[in-house]
Amino acid sequence: MAYLQVDGAIKRYGATTALNGVSFAVGKGEFFTLLGPSGCGKTTLLRSIAGFSQLSEGRIDLDGVDLLSVPPHKRDIGMVFQDYAIFPHLTVAENIAFGLKARKVPASAIRERVTEALATVRLTALAERLPAALSGGQQQRIGIARAMVVKPRLLLMDEPLSNLDAKLRLDLRDEIRAIQRTIGIAAIYVTHDQEEALAISDRICVMDGGKVEQIGTPQQIYGQPATRFVASFVGTMNLLPPSAFGLPSSAGVAHWAVRPERLRLAEADAPPQSAFSLTGSVEHFTYLGREAHLTVSAQGQRLVAQIAAPPPDLSIEAGREIRLALDLRDLHGFDAEGRRVTVAPAT
């Protein structure tokens, strides 16, 4: 039995449908991410689980209890917000203790749990500081500790890293995952950042237009996208017409797709070792050390290729004609409605 179960969630705002029949299950201790563009319904869904927004239709159960019959303050759910939502006049320790005091936890237990929470988020030395004296990452860790110290049954996080710079985002996302694993709490994390979702999640639910596009592990979402939307939204994908470059035909395929890293440079004077190659003109070349990016124009199509571990002296000028090679097994097929076609292309 799933720990959290969402069945047929629908949310309407007048003529607008923000959630359109969303269903998924989350296991106990699982880190589950809702991923999608702005306006896809992920925050609305999170707020519905927390009780801040009521569904128009559907059901949400947590550990066998119908949450829709439970008021928000009794759902025992912790929430970490995008804007930190910490009290500027309280110290770090006082901020973390706030929820425990509201629940009338004994003072001795509050001290013990706050001390443990401070250590978990590595803020022990800053316990008596005010938030204004801390960095954005440290302030967000206060919010995480405050949500977790009450030992909720479920932790919800609504884009908690979006206000941080790139370096802090990388550091704190790893910390959030480590803290969640240590505590063993089920967590639902909302983000529009594909790399963040891939790096931090046990499973990902990709949403668009209030609907679920695909649910799966990071490897499944990236390597076996169920729809053309998922293929294009998660990472970069080259989309090609079914007849482009003489690609093989396969029943029902309206578009072929291939990841940039699956394209490679083919030797000009030797046949490619793959089953297929194409020739095009370089529009742009970028050397990034551990990889190089190429934008290539070929037969009216623009392709992006990522070359792993390029030679240090690799440099390709704009306008140069090159040949790219790929294995047919790296092609993804999608039908006219954007759904994955499972039939392998003929060789």
- Transcribe 97-112 into DSSP letters: HHHHHHTT--HHHHHH
What is the CATH architecture of 236-341?
A: Beta Barrel (2.40)
Coil, strand or helix: which one is 214?
A: strand
pTM check: above 0.75? yes
Are the CB atoms for 61 and 5 separated by under 8 Å? yes
Answer yes or no: is pLDDT of 273 > 60: no
Residue spans of the domains in the chain: they are: 4-226, 236-341
pLDDT tens digits, 227-248: 999 999 999 999 988 877 777 7
Distances from the Cα of 240 to the Cαs of 230, 249, 258, 277, 344, in angstroms? Answer: 16, 12, 8, 14, 16
In this structure, of 91-95, 166-170, 242-246, 337-341, the range with the lowest mean pLDDT score is: 242-246
Q: How far apart are the first and last CA of the chain?
A: 44
Highest-scoring range by mean pLDDT, 72-86, 206-220, 322-336: 206-220
List the alpha helices (DSSP H) in the chain: 42-50, 92-102, 107-120, 136-149, 166-183, 194-200, 218-223, 228-233
Give dist(CA 255, CA 240) in Å, integer.
Answer: 6
Q: Which residues pair with 143 in a beta bridge?
A: none
The domain 4-226 belongs to what CATH superfamily? P-loop containing nucleotide triphosphate hydrolases (3.40.50.300)
Cα dihedral value 33, 37, 39, 43, nearest 10? 20
